[in-house]
Structure 1
Amino acid sequence: MQFYKDGFRGGNPDIKQAAPNRRNRGINEPLPEKVDVLISGTGPAGLCLAAQLSQFPEIETMIVERMPSNIIKGKADGINTRTMEMFQAFGFADKVKRETYWVNQTNFWMPDPAYPANIKRVGRVQDVADDSSEMPHILINQARLHELFLEVMQNSPSRLAPDYGWEVVDVKVDADATEYPVTVTLKDSSGINWWATRTVRANYVVGCDGAHSAVRKSIGGVLHGDAAHQAWGVMDILANTDFPDVRQKCLISSASEGNVLILPREGGYVFRMYVELDKLKEGEKAASKKFTQDDMIAAANRIIHPYALDVKEVVWWSIYDIGHSITDKFDDVPEGSKRNPRVFTAGDACHTHSPKAGQGMNVSMQDTFNLGWKLVHVLTGRADASLLRSYSRERQTEAKRLVETDHEWARIMSAPTTEAERNGTEEPRIIRQFKANLEFTGGTAVKYDPSTLFADGKHQALAKGEEIGRRFHSAPVVRLSDAKQMQLGHAAEADARWRLYLFAGKSDTGKPGTTMHELANWLETASDSPVTRHTRPGEDVDAIIDVRAVFQATFDQLAYETMPPLFKPRTGKLGLQDHEKIFCVDHKGVGDIYEMRGIHREHGCMIIVRPDQYVANVLPLDARSDLTSYFAGVLRQ
């Protein structure tokens, strides 16, 4: 983490200098008449987007929520490794790791062949495959996650905060207008303003307002899908039990009483149980069954027999039925129209599924992490508004895969065990499927298709382990200036900047006359360099493209003083030198990034990484015109 760039300030370095002319907020303050972006909903998707936009005080952002305050318990809890990588960019991954439960193993229990009324452990699977990510799979109270995003917003230059007690009831788009074309009607849901309505005009609106989204309905979006006709209960409890694996994630299938999923929670005592209840008839809803928490507890005790559950406190509980659906549109652009979108939906507003694979909250945040930097680019004039068309294309494809995979997983979880599974002659299908799904459940299976934003992979062989279209896979490095061991991916922040990683070829030490030195000089000074073309007068050299260098030598074999100026730029209003741009291979055996990620040792390469951490292109170090052409296809000059 870097701070004091613009001068020394005491206190918490996470609290950034407040921007002038901030909006006054409060229960008696009027709502703004116009905003750049209006976000509906303060769930994970909405807050993830708001946290990104809050770093840009020149973008007037408003986030509204019909509830009177943040939630305090319940709802989703699973955070996969890919989302943890994203949290690192926001600056709170270490805090999350300290507070949360880490899912290390997943255990599987099935009927004991000798005593079918009893359950028996039949397998264990490592929950996060080796080197799939440097991050753990964790479980956290969703309310706490909200607080972490709210803290980022509060500490940002814009001091952004939600407007609670306001609900979006209608959205209208004037396709002919060029400024503030979206009119949003808000209704007071708190009663403080006597259920009054207000209108706010916006350049863009993002509906993160759940499965019953008013934003989606306003643009004609419809959820299409099916139901599994199965009622489930979920409860967070404080309880004593003789079940031995209660502090490990468990999938439990009984012979005749149904299934249970156990998820330990943070703090060492609370754990969550998803409990299978009754089958539902066609068109029947779980709510009509009038189940209570006592019904869930009784069902759980029947399923985990011969073990018993003594519940001391039910922290939160809910009954639901599984449904899988996806909307036919993620934005407001009519089919066949060439106009650019003004209204978007994200998260449950455009795709719903079961909670069994733990993907809902994760995919929702990945939706808006994808959208956030694009909105920043367009609203700050970095890119044409046509960039926003890529959101629906990229995220709708991913949502379809999520719904299909989750649909299959939910069916397998509720399927009866076969005789072969019970007698041990065949590995249970649920274990086979769990192993096959590890990349999916970790969130690392996402692969975007080739487009103007993702190259065709002509030079992929130069970095076999950094696949174009997939997220940048971090690996250990050592920072040259202070010999600090770290993860290269942790150099990136959620700041809407591109990363250009330059991996040196064999024997290149960065001295004058070497390939790396000459490339850096070209990037910094040449008129056809993407750095000079897309950096505005008066801006830091890394304002939009953050260049980082990685060498094959160890830190003691490199000379910092001979490195090119671009690798140690002077930035900020004081012109202070940045010492954190140069890295080399780890010298203590943690791992060689070249070997781990298949970086070509002889030739090296350039890797372009989007602001949302996805690999956009891999190029040879001498492919200067290709590098310029790529950025020219995305950024304005």
Structure 2
Amino acid sequence: MEESKVDVLIIGAGPAGLMCANALAHAGIPVRVIDKSPKGGIERLRRMPAITAPSTARYPFTCTLHQGAIEAIFHDDMKTVGLGIDRPTIPISIELSEDEAELSDPQAYPVKVVVQHLDRNDIEVIRAKFVLGSDGAHSWVRKAMDIKMEGDMSDFIWGVVDIIPDTDYPDTRNLAVIHSPEGSALLIPREGGLLRLYVQLADADVIDPQTGRLDKARTSPQKVLEMAKRILRPYRMDPIGEIRWWTTYIGQGMNASMADTHNLAWKLAYVLRGWADISLLKTYEFERRKFAVDLINFDRQWAALFSSGKAGLKGTNDTLHDMFRRNGQFTSGIGVRNLIVGERMLPHVFICASDARPVNIHDMLPADTRFKVLVFVGDIVDEEVAERVGRLGEELAAPDSFLNRYGHGGSSRVFDVICISASSKQDVDWTDFPKVLSRHWSKVLLDDEDMHGRSGGGGFVAYGINPRLGAIVIVRPDGHVGLVLLLSWMRRAINAAQESSIRNQRPPGIGGAIPTVPAGKGSVGAVTFSPARPTVNTTSAQSSEDHPAGQRGECQESSYPASMDFVQQYSMPPESVPDGQIMHPIRYEPSSSGISHAPHAIAGYGGLSTIYNDS
């Protein structure tokens, strides 16, 4: 019997598994993927319709791309690092060590999985440090580990067909929502002249009365198309040739699962490299559960509203339109807003200081497991700003700066520093900035228009950053904003962390005192972290005079689980925190007093934290 070891074993080669495998492989983590299918294929497509809503998205349109094409992108990229998929291979058994020491040691192999290679009918034992179950809704891993599927069945079942239509209905190339006495339908134009039809099905058509669960064998593409024809009357709807594809479902499961494993992959990489404690992995559920709940609620609201429509139902059209608008940010991933800690970094076009070519900030934020340190320095032509930037450069280049102290053998391994200035392209060169901010000509950007005036400019305004004060924005490896910090507070934050570490070599336990820096308004306090316990981070925003944006309600000094320990924290119980200062994770909520509060989270090892004390 063959035996092998691997850091991460991924069971299931769907979009979620491929997303994680691709990320880990490019991070240099030994990974293996197995899948039961003899070749790649799909059973369902899970997509939502196009949405009309204000957005700052880089590409201001929505298109559909089938799952097979998405998987092919991952396959091609995985080949560049020599990673393939073991097919057809199925897991037979899985065992998890009961030794607590082994389970808490990221270098141990506490998981034993026995697999069968169906093409050669032999058995292999794989020992892994971590096993990822990404094998779909009927997951073998979940059943084998006795993990319950929480939630209930949807009250609404949808039939879906793809056809090239022969029809006199005029809106087949537009997103169309139709309510008629026969039911509801959704029409989505696709590539190559295809039209996708979603129609609501009666329970009797698809539900097994014995099990109460969906039974695809009880329906057919012909039945789905016939229902669509009845809904569309008096218009005619027939397929040209055969029905190209069909299923029964609607949702965003594929998109959500890919975002899940994107969140998880960099954390696994940090733990396996020894850069983070294993407790960092606890933040995965915390951060993604909120999104999952929102997804379920959105799907339920959308299905209920869509399915309840009847011809002539008063207000249905306005209600549907309002829901499309309000949920535009959710389904597209980006809406109109400033920087919000815990959400994605917004796209914006700047220009490269070296050659004035336009650069979208997203192109500077590849998912390479590094933290991106975006230093917004304002206009260095201003002497006061230039002096502040010079001091910042000295602080960042110092041996005790977080770049050098936590660079794990080289700051560029963990951090990628990008300087963004409000200066004009006519006034500065990329070499005018401190060396630590300009280590490469491509790393200095200007918030100015390109040579043709077609793009660029307005970035400080879009992000809500006051160019006179500047800010440091730390973007996590998964593209989410982890910290927003005033330039002038960087040294105080570092000093506070160092002082705290010296005064508290070992955390005194829950509820320990919080050391603060007596620096007047907006002074920063930092506390050490006990890796054995989760933590609750808290904050209250500074006054508007010290606000990075110069006003309340925009870009606030705050933090999110960033998994960097240059500013550390105690485990602090909720009762030790002033009322109203514990924020909901990943959600931005202005306080009743009008002062902006940042979202905070239960962080794992090294969660980044700053605490303010208004005096």
Per the normalisation by structure 2, the TM-score is: 0.74
Match of 1:187? 116
1:368-415 CA distances to partner (integer Å, 9 max, x unpaired)?
Answer: 010010011111111111111111111122212211221121111111
1:50 and 2:21 aligned: yes
Query: 2:546 matched to which residue of 1?
Result: none
The yes-or-no answer on 1:583 pairing with 2:445 is: yes
Superposed, which structure 2 residues align to 1:480-519 within 5 Å? Answer: 480-507=353-380, 514-519=387-392
Distance 1:608 1:40 in 2: 33
| Residue 204 of structure 1, CA deviation | 0.6
Q: Identify if the C-alpha distance between structure 1 residues 426 and 308 changes in structure 2 by more than 3 Å, giving closer, same or farther.
A: closer
In the other structure, the counterpart of 2:220 is 292
How many angstroms does 1:511 deviate by?
Answer: 11
What is the CA distance between 1:161 and its match in structure 2?
Answer: 1.0
Structure 2 CA distance for partners of 1:77 and 1:382, relative to 1, 3 Å: same
Whole-angstrom distance in 2 between the partners of 1:33 and 1:206:
17
Q: C-alpha distance in 1, partners of 2:222/2:379?
A: 67
- How many angstroms apart in 2 are the aligned matches of 1:31 and 1:481? 56
Deviation at 1:493, TM superposition (A): 0.7
How far apart, CA to CA, are the structure 2 residues paired with 1:227 and 1:472? 35
Cross-structure match for 2:438: 568
Selected match of 1:607 from 452, 456, 473: 473
CA drift of 1:288 comes to 6.8
Tell me which residue corresponds to 1:252: 178
What is the DSSP-based 3-state SS (H/G/I as helix, E as strand, rest coil) of the residue aligned with 1:246?
coil
What is the match of residue 315 of structure 1?
Answer: 244
Q: Give the match for residue 486 of structure 2.
A: 620
Counterpart of 2:11 in structure 1 is: 40
2:350 pairs with 1:477: yes
Query: Distance between the aligned counterparts of 1:395 and 1:227, measured in 2?
Result: 21
Which of 320, 323, 326 is the matching residue for 1:436?
326
CA deviation digits over 1:70-120, x for unaligned, max 9?
11x6622538xxxxxxxxxxxxxxxxxxxxxxx7xx5xxxxxxxxxxxxxx
| Cα distance change on mapping 1:56 and 1:509 into 2, 3 Å | farther
Q: Secondary structure at the match of 2:150?
A: strand
Q: Deviation of residue 625 (structure 1)?
A: 4.3
Counterpart CA distance in 1 for 2:216 and 2:354 is 64
Deviation readout 1:115-158 (Å, 9 max, x if unpaired): xxxxxxxxxxx6242425545422101001001011111113xx
- Which of 97, 108, 117 is the equivalent residue of 1:174? 97
Instruction: Using the TM superposition, give the Cα deviation of residue 417 of structure 1 relative to its aligned residue in structure 2, in angstroms.
Output: 3.1
Q: In the alignment, residue 592 of structure 1 is paired with which amino acid?
A: G
1:381-392 matches, within 5 Å, as 381-392=274-285
User: How many aligned positions are there?
Assistant: 487
Residues in 2 aligned to 1:560 and 1:228: alpha-carbon distance in whole angstroms: 56
Q: Matches of residues 218-617 of structure 1 in structure 2 within 5 Å?
A: 218-255=144-181, 257-266=182-191, 268-280=192-204, 284-287=212-215, 290-311=218-239, 312-319=241-248, 354-355=250-251, 359-417=252-310, 419=312, 421=314, 427-444=317-334, 465-507=338-380, 514-524=387-397, 526-537=398-409, 539=410, 541-569=411-439, 578-587=440-449, 588=453, 590=455, 591-617=457-483
Q: Distance in 1 between matches of 2:9 and 2:443?
A: 36
Q: TM-score, with normalisation over the residues of structure 1? A: 0.71
- For residue 522 of structure 1, what is the amino acid of its counterpart? E
Q: Distance in 2 between matches of 1:251 and 1:181?
A: 52
On the 8 A contact 1:498/1:609 being kept in 2, the answer is: yes
Letter of the structure 2 residue corresponding to residue 47 of structure 1: L
CA distance in 2, matches of 1:620, 1:508: 19
Query: In structure 1, what is the Cα distance between the partners aligned to 2:350 and 2:72?
Result: 32
Residue matched to 1:22: none
Does the aligned pair in 1 maintain the 2:350–2:445 contact within 8 Å?
yes
Matched, 1:210 2:136: yes
The answer to which structure, 1 or 2, has the higher relative contact order (CA under 8 A, 6+ apart) is 1
Q: Tell me, yes or no, if the aligned pair for 1:619 and 1:627 is still in contact at 8 Å.
A: no
Alignment partner of 2:37 out of 52, 59, 67: 67
Matched residues in 2 for 1:627 and 1:314: separation?
62
Q: Which of 113, 137, 150 is equivalent to 2:75? A: 150
CA displacement 1:287-310 (0-9 Å, x = unmatched): 277222111111111111222222
In structure 2, stretches of 5+ residues that fail to align are 498-563, 569-604, 608-615
Q: For residues 202-228 of structure 1, what are the alpha-carbon distances to aligned partners after superposition, in whole Å with 9 as ceiling and x for unaligned?
A: 001111111111222233211122223
Question: Match for residue 139 of structure 1?
Answer: 64
| 1:82-97 correspondence runs (5 A) | none
SS in 2 for 1:68: coil
Partner-residue secondary structure (3-state), 2:153: strand
Shift of 1:627: 5.3
Query: 1:546-589: per-residue Cα shift (whole Å, max 9, x none)?
Result: 111111112222122322222332xxxxxxxx321010113226
Local SS of the residue matching 1:253: strand
Which amino acid letter does the alignment assign opposite residue 197 of structure 2?
A: M
| Corresponding residue SS for 1:259 | strand
AA at the equivalent of 2:286: R
Amino acid at match of 2:25: S
> What secondary structure sits across from 1:33 in the alignment?
strand
- For residues 165 and 289 of structure 1, the distance between their equivalents in structure 2, rounded to whole angstroms, comes to 25
Tell me which amino acid in the other structure corresponds to 2:458.
Answer: D
CA 1:434–1:513: 2 relative to 1, 3 Å? closer
Deviates more, 1:238-247 or 1:601-610: 238-247
SS in 1 for 2:164: strand
Q: Deviations over 1:420-477 (max 9, x none)?
A: 52xxx6744222222221121113489xxxxxxxxxxxxxxxxx81111111112121
Q: CA deviation at 1:507?
A: 4.2
2:57–2:335 contact (8 Å) kept in structure 1: no
Task: Please give the alpha-carbon distance, in whole angstroms, between the structure 2 residues aligned to 1:437 and 1:495.
Answer: 30
Could you tell me which residue of structure 1 aligns to residue 45 of structure 2?
Answer: 76
Distance 2:492 2:77 in 1: 37
In 2: Cα distance, 1:299 partner to 1:603 partner: 61
Match of 2:556 in 1: none
Cα separation, 2, equivalents of 1:51 and 1:445: 28
**Contact map agreement 2:95 2:112 (CA 8 A) in 1:** yes
